[in-house]
Copies of this chain bind each other. A is one copy, B any other.
Amino acid sequence: MAQDTIVNGVNVDQFFNSIDLFKEKPELALFKFRAANKWLGGTKGQATVKDFYGPGQEDTSREASSFDLDEPIVLLGKGEGTNPVEYLLVALSGCITTALVVKAAAQKIPLRGVESRFEGDIDLRGFLGMSPEVPVGYKEIRVYFKIDADISDEQKEELLRLAEKYSPVSNTIKSQTPVSVHLEK
């Protein structure tokens, strides 16, 4: 049995095999991801992530992960956790990074290091309902990437454009993604 091709720690054969598989059976490309949340008083809460659906079946193999949520003291909290809009940047940071690394691997471009920083602007008058003109969410998010690899700046830019184009979190944020909120009785 031939050895799989690994670039940047990514199994490139598994990547291309997935494309072949999803061409044949597109229903196997449909995944469902989940989280649960429990309010702990004030602005504190705990979120849990465990199971997901895909490919074609429930996956319960991972351990549960828990995340503490809180607002800083200046925003009605106790500062004993990371706040929701910061978790959104955590999500975005992981997503563009992974998209970059996987797309580089698919092109057999080895990377030595990838570091990035994320900053988003929020005008709290939106949340407080003080003015309908003020956006409630992030007004803008800025992202800065450092890529350590033996490729030209133009190739780094190209990789970054690919990563941005194919990052699920970035696309969820940039598109008008529907969110439906239901009361369970």
A interface residues, Cβ below 8 angstroms from B: 8-11, 14-15, 18-19, 22-23, 26, 29-39, 41-45, 47, 49, 52, 54-55, 59, 61-62, 65, 67-69, 71-76, 79, 81-99, 101-102, 111, 113-130, 135-147, 153, 156-157, 160-161, 163-185
CB of B179 within 8 A of CB of A177, answer no
Residues of B within 8 A of A37 (CB): 90, 93-94, 97, 114-118
Nearest opposing residue in chain B for A62, CB measure: B79
CB of B84 within 8 A of CB of A168, answer yes
CB of A146 within 8 A of CB of B184, answer yes
A69-B97, A86-B91 known; 19 new pairs, CB 8 Å cut-off, are: A30-B123, A32-B120, A33-B89, A34-B86, A35-B90, A37-B118, A49-B89, A49-B90, A54-B124, A61-B72, A85-B169, A87-B169, A88-B88, A137-B168, A140-B180, A143-B181, A145-B183, A161-B181, A172-B173
With both chains docked as a complex, state the minimum distance between the C-beta of A54 and any C-beta of chain B, in angstroms. 7
Residues of B within 8 A of A91 (CB): 84-88, 90-91
